Structure 1
Amino acid sequence: MLEEMDTQNSTTELAKGCAHPEMLYLPETVRDWPWTRMINPYYKEVAHESSVWLKSLEPFKERSQYAFDICDFGRLAALAYPFASREDLRTAADLMSVFFAIDEYTDVEPQQVVKEMTGVIIDAVRNPTKPRPEGEVVLGEITRQFWVRAEKTATPEAAKHFVDTFADYLDSVVIQAGDRDQNRIRTAEEYFETRSNNIGTRPSFAIGELHLSIPDYVFYHPTIKELEFLSSCLVALDNDIVSYSKEQALGDDRHNIITVVMHQFNLTLPEAMNWASERHKKFQDQFLDGLRNVPAWGKDIDDQIAVYIEHLGGWPRANYCWHFESGRYFGSKGLEIQKTRYVPLYPKRNRVTHLHKEDIDIPIVDCL
């Protein structure tokens, strides 16, 4: 099906003969999305380099590191930045690992601890030459090393935009932790406002402009911000649709749109999936309509903003493809599920939440 794709990693503990009482149908949300699948030719070598770098900092114990590795975050970067230089792709691959390491570390912590962790992380970005203190959470050094490398190739405008959007992302992670502490489930509209930040797309979009010099009055124009919001919502919806089975099994689905609309509108699971698919189509239409409203600022800026918008359009397709090509949500069955559209509703399991930091337990999907 995908000639350039290497064979997926499979786990050594593959669950065999496990009968699940319910199968969940996944709507094909990007069937008509005009951006097609592409992958950066530097994918394999850069993904390997980035993985070796992260492991050298020892953020996880062996089993959890294995579960992290089969997610293939370098592939996500290569799909999202198909035309990036080798250097910029390395920055993108490192950032994907930064995001998901933050996700794993903060998902099991109360809001106050998450606030302390995110404070360390943003300080590392704002002060990348400052040595990190002994005994500090490793996320600080991971982020510092990432940004030291990234900043070397970033224009001043791109660097500023990344730091600003990354700070917003970290703030939203703290908000999510507060919701988790209070067992709060937001309304759908509240969800989109929060999720458009904590899905991590806005800092990721900024990586797509590392070589560009987009002035603030263009970058923060309402039309550009609306396109960013819509692209982020498309990514979030697809993420929530494919991750729901895993997240509900682990009891980590409060910030999933499927849970949100089932709770808010008293929907069944199939009805909630249909709601998410219809909202996805609405956001697609709004994004494509919004492209017609992008102002003209002169050839130099227009050419640069066109490159930036390509990243906004490409991310939903890249994200969608990665869901099935990696082991993050479907283990070794991703390509099969992409064809059949059916995923088992994994049985409930108690995730080990008393382990923290490098001892964190990252579940392997094939073992659910």
Structure 2
Amino acid sequence: MKASITDEQFFSNLLHLPKPSYPFPDFIHPDFQVQREEYYKWIDTEYIIHSKEAREKHKKHNLTDIAARGCPFLKSLVELRPLANYTANGAMMDDYFDRCSREEMYIIMDKIMALVSGSVSREPEEPGIFHLFWQLRQDAVRCAIPENIYNRFIKSMKDVFIGYAEEKVYYRTNTVPPLSVYLLIRAETSGVKPYCDYVALQKDYRKLPDEIFDHPFIRRLYTLSSLMIGIHNDIISLPKELSREGDTMNLVKVLQQENNISLKEAYMRALDMHDAYLNEFELLQRKMSFFGEYQELVSNYVHDLGVMISGVYAWHTNDTSRYVNNGYVEGEYTNKG
């Protein structure tokens, strides 16, 4: 790891560069503060595997606010809770297993998927990551998430974990991936596709038939949402990732290596890619005129995908603790190999 640096050094090269922006409104769920309190309790009772320093840092991150901003129109805290669990537990799990191997991550994924799918129904005896994912399923059953939406949600979760596993190859060798590989992995590790599925629980979107969610236009909007959020996360977290070895899954680093250009040039190209994806999202949003009786409902759903994007970005821009110097939680898992 690189030597300690000052806050001024940490941000000096990036402070004055342009940032992403969105034309979509952003909101926050009215129960966000109550959900925060539950999150703090999760950290104190479930995340005892983390050091006290790590737990206190996590509390400052308010990770459940991402769910509250991404799906602000859910009817109740009960409906918000499974998404908040996935968000906070997934992020803290990713931090904890930061330097585990690809093979270990696949084993972890299989355990999680067995719990969230219900194929393993017994409650884990120990508190922690797996117990929280078991709890996610209990809460999903409690709020009667329709089976088709829940199955899409956990399938997307699995794809996120596959992305986590595949990026370990690059993290553990401190290797920057090729752009094509980065795009495939980042579309999953941004963690956004489960959000796209969960947006369907808001308003009347659960009335939409499955074939609409499988439509190529909708699937492409999911990918665009994932890449935009992945890139704006890369941009915001870049100072942190420039200061740590192994943080190679960042578009700015990828473009800098692939094109042999300066950091600033790579940053601007990353922003250009983000804006191109945003333009494509808006184009598809305008051109969807083939959903018949569901046209208005689909249009509103796509609008709320935009709200989700703005909401997640609002969390990133309001956060003053996770991506600042020494604010990130270092991985505490001890590698077996």
Query: Shorter chain as normaliser: what TM range?
Result: 0.7 to 0.9
2:259 maps to which residue? 265
Which residue identity is paired with 2:312? N
1:356 aligns to what?
333
Instruction: Find out whether 1:297 has 2:291 as its counterpart.
Output: yes
**Which one-letter code corresponds to 1:167 in the other structure?**
K
Instruction: Tell me, yes or no, if the aligned pair for 1:121 and 1:140 is still in contact at 8 Å.
Output: yes
The structure 2 residue matched to 1:309, chosen from 295, 302, 313, is 302
Q: Which residue of 2 aligns with 1:149?
A: 139
State the distance in 2 between where 1:241 and 1:140 align: 31
Extract unaligned runs of 5+ from structure 1: 1-14, 332-345, 360-368
Contact persistence 1:246–1:329 (CA under 8 A): no
Letter in 2 for 1:162: F
TM-score (norm 2): 0.86
Aligned to 1:175: 166
1:78 aligned to 46, 57, 68, which one?
A: 68
Q: Is the 8 A contact 1:40 1:82 kept in 2?
A: yes
Alignment partner of 1:285 is 2:274:
no
2:46–2:129 Cα contact (<8 Å) kept: no
Contact 1:128/1:144 (8 A) holds in 2: no
Letter in 2 for 1:193: L
Distance in 2 between the 1:330 and 1:133 partners?
A: 32
1:66 is paired with a residue whose SS is helix
* 1:237 equivalent in alignment to 2:265: no
C-alpha displacement of 1:215: 2.8
Q: Which amino acid aligns with 1:125?
A: V
**CA–CA separation in structure 2 for the residues paired with 1:324 and 1:279:** 20
TM-aligned CA distance change 1:258 to 1:49, over 3 Å:
same
In the alignment, which of 319, 322, 330 is matched to residue 315 of structure 2?
322
Asked if the contact 1:27–1:273 (Cα under 8 Å) also holds between the matched residues in 2, the reply is no
Please, which of 85, 93, 102 is the counterpart of residue 102 of structure 1? 93
In the alignment, the residues of structure 2 paired with residue 128 and residue 307 of structure 1 have an alpha-carbon distance, to the nearest angstrom, of: 35
- The question of whether the paired residues in 2 share the 8 Å contact of 1:258 and 1:276 is answered with yes
Question: Partner residue of 1:53?
Answer: 42
User: 1:251/1:132 Cα in 2 relative to 1: closer, same or farther (>3 Å)?
Assistant: farther
Task: Note closer, same or farther for the CA distance 1:110–1:185 as it changes in structure 2 (3 Å cut).
Answer: same
Q: Which runs of 4+ in 1 moved over 4 A?
A: 15-19, 132-135
Work out the CA distance in 1 between the residues paired with 2:229 and 2:300. Answer: 19
RMSD: 2.8
| In structure 2, C-alpha distance between the alignment counterparts of 1:62 and 1:196, rounded to whole Å | 32
Shift of 1:70: 0.8
Q: Which runs of 5+ in 2 are unaligned?
A: none
Change in CA separation of 1:251 and 1:326 when aligned onto 2, cut-off 3 Å: same
TM normalised by structure 1 equals 0.79
Identify if the C-alpha distance between structure 1 residues 147 and 302 changes in structure 2 by more than 3 Å, giving closer, same or farther.
Answer: farther
Corresponding residue for 1:339? none
Number of residue equivalences: 323
